[in-house]
Structure 1
Amino acid sequence: MVAFTSVFTTIFAAVLSATSVNAAPVTQSLAARSAAPSAPHFVAYIDEWMTPPATTDLTGFNVVALSFWRPGAPVDEALEWQDLDAATRNSTLSTYSAAGIKTVVSAFGADYFPTSGSPELDPTQTADELAAWVIQYGFDGVDIDYEDYTAMNKKDGSAEQWLITFTTELRNKLPASDYFITHAPLAPWFSSSVYTSGGYIKVNQEVGSLIDWYNVQFYNDGTSEYTTCDGLINTSSTTYPDTALFQIVAAGVTADKLVIGKPGTTADETDGGYMSASDLASCLQQATAKNWNAGVSIWQYPDAGAAWIKTVRSLAFPE
């Protein structure tokens, strides 16, 4: 998932975050925030500079993910949230909570490289900084959109170990009784035959108990990948073997932790994976018939909103 921000706005964000006068803590209670919601999850990522949408515009979704947090300089919708006054943040959180909508921040994004960047980020220090920001700005949890291709493609275990250390520390600072943690891995990273150092299968084995669910990105991996119901839920291509939904389940990941992530429009993907809302609805119906119940995540609102999710849910999860 690619951040909207340009290089200029990233620099501008750093200046704003350093000088912001709106960092007063929110007052949402832990009881209201509570632990992770149960499946199914319907997650809307927002990565534009916009005021928080009204709950009527989010009908059908139960999680909103604001993108992206980055160390020292949140960008795009995460920066927009930081720059709101505390009263507006509190009001928004209360309104969303009353409507059954959880609010999280998504960290990193496709154009940010925690492990292979220069310098490499310390996973423990980064987790501590992120957790403090999550707490300060009132979120129900956090989503980890780690897309460091260079690190993962080394297949030397460095990406996996970074994620394991990072997630362990993040959960230490954000207890499961009060916050939930999700990851947004690329679907191919669940292929242990391609990612011989383990990929996300290794991450799940080591810290899967600390992760509430995965918003799996079944897109941007080639124009013919994950574009049919069979390829999405039953049998993936030989390019990325064993990475369709139920193949990932067979590899040991709990079915109801595997949320299907898709782009809302062709403009929201850079390398394939788009399916129409009606076609995706049919796939979900087939998956639920096999006892899957995790839900759907969308990149991104407002390109896909209440009408989109209503269609997607219509056969398997009617509102």
Structure 2
Amino acid sequence: MSEIFHIDQLPNRTIAHNGQEYLFFSGTAYLGIPQHPTFHRLMTESMYRYGTVFGSSRNGNVRIGVYEEAEAKLAARTGAEAALTLSSGMMAGQVIINWLRSQTASFLYAPHAHPALWHAPTVTIPQLSFADWIDQLPDLVNALPPGPVAILTNSLDAVCSDYYNFEWVNNLPDNRPITLVVDDSHGLGVLNNGRGIWPQIPRNPSRAGGPICLLGTGSLAKGMGLPGGMVFGDADTIKTIRQTAFFGACSPMVPACLDAYLQADNLYAEGYERLQRNIQLAEELLLPTGLFQHAEGYPVFFTEHDELYADLLQHSILIYSFAYPTAAHRANTRIVISAFHELEDIKRVTDQILAICKAVS
């Protein structure tokens, strides 16, 4: 098991632990928003206006307009018709699951589907590759009892840095209603110029069973740097989800965070540009080592060489290496690039990896 680093500050490009400074290549703050001093200022100013929490139902008789304004902007960012925010990505997934349970006969899960999308404490997650699951999916759907089906998947494999092709949506059986739920936690703010996966998912309006109902969900605490989650899709479905008891009973996202988001266009654009610059350099330097699996343009570099964690740690470089989503899972090792990194940081980790490779060759 990797050493636990107990720290008393937000991780940035470096962290301090037991009096020693480490270069930090982990976490999910891809755009560097939580670390940005200007965003800190925006948050402070917004908290003077909105306080630290809004302890009421979003469906109450007193409503703060910043929610609808921010949700309209988030929906437009993804390309969806409408969006709703919640207090976390887990709550965002579960508000959809709660709604689906009232009308869906069967649930089908893709490999590695995030627990935020689980409809029970334990569910059957296929232990096969995403490509093999796609090949089997039409038969899996047809083998289910008659009735609506929900298909639940992540937008990509963020652990092993692998993109998913969503053309398979066009080949789904058309003999029943289908709802496709895609958790885009690791794509929001990062893929497709920050729009996430939504533009890549085909629509299929000519099915005999009716159009596929497409819903997106995800944490905003990663690329977007906000403590909350959101769901997005067509306006009618989002309106229906808003009217559920589950959503009405949820504590809402902190309004000050959404107010800060509305004022941070330049910071998101700047973070995206810096991230792309850093990814490009990392691809040029890390990929020739032959140690990494990597989806082009994505900030995660996965390796099967778990020993790299301990080797780099000896040289004050901390990379990702722990079991996820539970301690029973195999630890995975990856280098995560963020907008807060300097070019010299990426050169340093590469130089150290090359030196390690040379020493063991």
Provide TM-score, normalisation by structure 1.
0.31
Provide TM-score, normalisation by structure 2.
0.28
Q: Which has the larger radius of gyration?
A: 2
| Higher RCO by CA contacts (8 Å cutoff, separation 6 or greater) | 2
